[in-house]
């Protein structure tokens, strides 16, 4: 009986470790930063003043309060910083490493592009200027 519990415990630990590694790999996606639009020059970028409007227009339909996809909410600052089922998508101070930027810039895994190409709502990709502004916000601490 004790051996069986030990084996089950060991197997559960391995499964949890594998799951954690997959999540960490997904959040640690590396891309060629030279392919990203540069951060905007604007100073003191905040979620409320500049970023919320972009997210409300391009993201909140799927990542809002009603059934947020991947459990990611972008309709408020707390949700954006918390992340979703794949972990944090915003790394304050590190826009080029933030999964949100990689996905909205349509780099990395095409299955993760946001908004998805050919989405049902017809939401177009973010512009280079919008991505640059989001990068500046993240690089300035995502406040």
User: In this predicted model, what pLDDT tens digit does every residue of 43-95 receive, in sequence order?
Assistant: 999 999 999 999 999 999 999 999 999 999 999 999 999 999 989 999 999 99
- In the three-class reduction of DSSP (H, G, I as helix; E, B as strand; rest coil), residue 84 is classed as strand
pLDDT at 17 over 60: no
Domain boundaries, the chain: 31-139
Q: Is the pLDDT of residue 20 over 90?
A: no
Beta carbons of 41 and 51 less than 8 angstroms apart? no
Sign, Cα dihedral of 118, 124, 128, 130:
negative
Judge contact between 90 and 100, C-beta under 8 A.
yes
pLDDT at 13 over 90: no
**Residues present in the chain in total:** 143
pLDDT value at residue 30: 67
Name 44's Cβ contacts closer than 8 Å, sequence gap at least 6.
Answer: 140
Q: Rounded to an integer, what distance in angstroms lies between the CA atom of residue 87 and that of residue 135?
A: 19
Q: Between these two residues, 58 and 21, which has the higher pLDDT value?
A: 58
Q: Which residues partner with 87 through β-bridges?
A: 84
Backbone angles phi, psi at 87, to 5 degrees: 95, -160
Q: Is the pLDDT of residue 21 over 50?
A: no
Tokens 């590396």: give the residue.
30
* CA angle at 82 for the pair 39 and 122, rounded to the nearest 5°: 65
């Amino acid at each position: 009986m004790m051996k069986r519990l030990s084996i089950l415990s060991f197997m559960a630990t391995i499964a949890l470790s594998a799951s954690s590694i997959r999540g960490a790999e997904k959040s640690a996606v590396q891309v060629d930063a030279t392919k990203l639009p540069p951060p905007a020059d604007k100073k003191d970028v905040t979620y409320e003043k500049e970023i919320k409007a972009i997210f409300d227009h391009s993201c909140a339909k799927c990542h809002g309060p009603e059934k947020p996809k991947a459990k990611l909410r972008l309709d408020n600052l707390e949700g954006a910083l918390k992340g979703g089922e794949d972990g944090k998508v915003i790394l304050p101070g590190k826009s080029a490493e933030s999964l949100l930027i990689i996905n909205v810039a349509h780099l990395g895994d095409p299955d993760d592009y946001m908004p998805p190409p050919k989405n049902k709502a017809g939401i177009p990709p973010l512009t280079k200027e919008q991505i640059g502004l989001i990068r500046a916000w993240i690089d300035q601490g995502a406040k």
